[in-house]
Amino acid sequence: MRRIAEVIVVEGKYDKNTLSQAVDASVVTLEGFAAFHDREKLSFLHRLAEKRGLIVLTDSDGAGFVLRNFLKGALPPERVKHAYIPDIHGKERRKRTPGREGKLGVEGMRPEILLDALRRAGATFLDESPREKPEEAPITISDFFAWGLTGAPDSAERRRALLKRLSLPEKLSTHALLDALNLLYGRERFREVLRAFKRGDDGRL
């Protein structure tokens, strides 16, 4: 499975599931048009763009292009790439009827089509790029247990305080927080952040 450096942005969870069968990459969902009104999600995407770079991969119908154009105006263009799937008529297996325009979305694409779309967008394939240093071990749920961020009576309160301190969306689940910390900080950097958080240091982390 091909590894991609950038974070890929898709419309919903079914797109994410399909993409995870084609590439090894970090994928963030927009949850459809909810992104228009979610300032926290938009701020999160902005930070991911600056840190990792983004690839926007939406459906090829009208709604997909509305979302894409919204992100074009909201995110730094030099940090965002755009991948386009072809117009293929049909319907996804889970749906009873085709979409309004009768086109397959990202979730209906074959892996090779998604790979081609990402390559055309200029995705950075890590297995084609030399690595300057060994890959850092990711933060895991076991670390959350060890750090008191889950499994303890006050874990939920600690996570809420941490989300607020890090200016991350307050509704992130435990596993979504885990993904966000790996994307934005990495294991060693976050351990420094966590130590500062426990000391109560001032300033944004």
Domains along the sequence of the chain with CATH? 2-128 (3.40.1360.10), 141-199 (no CATH)
Q: Does the pLDDT of residue 169 top 80, yes or no?
A: no
Q: Does the pLDDT of residue 50 top 60, yes or no?
A: yes
Q: Does the pLDDT of residue 167 top 60, yes or no?
A: yes
Phi, psi at residue 83, to the nearest 5°? Answer: -110, 135
Q: What is the pLDDT of residues 6-22, one digit of tens each?
A: 999 999 999 999 999 99
Percent of the chain scoring above 90 in pLDDT: 51
Structural contact between residues 137 and 96, judged by C-beta atoms closer than 8 angstroms: no
Q: What is the pLDDT of residues 82-118, one digit of tens each?
A: 999 988 888 888 887 777 788 899 999 999 999 999 9
Q: Does the pLDDT of residue 134 top 80, yes or no?
A: no
Contacts 24+ apart (CB under 8 A), 34-39: 35/67, 35/70, 35/71, 36/70, 38/169
How far apart are alpha carbons 179 and 81 in whole angstroms? 21
Name the strand (E) or helix (H) holding 146.
helix 141-146
Name the strand (E) or helix (H) holding 41.
helix 39-51
Confidence of residue 205 (pLDDT cuts 50, 70, 90): very low
Confidence of residue 204 (pLDDT cuts 50, 70, 90): very low
- Residues β-bridged to residue 81: 55
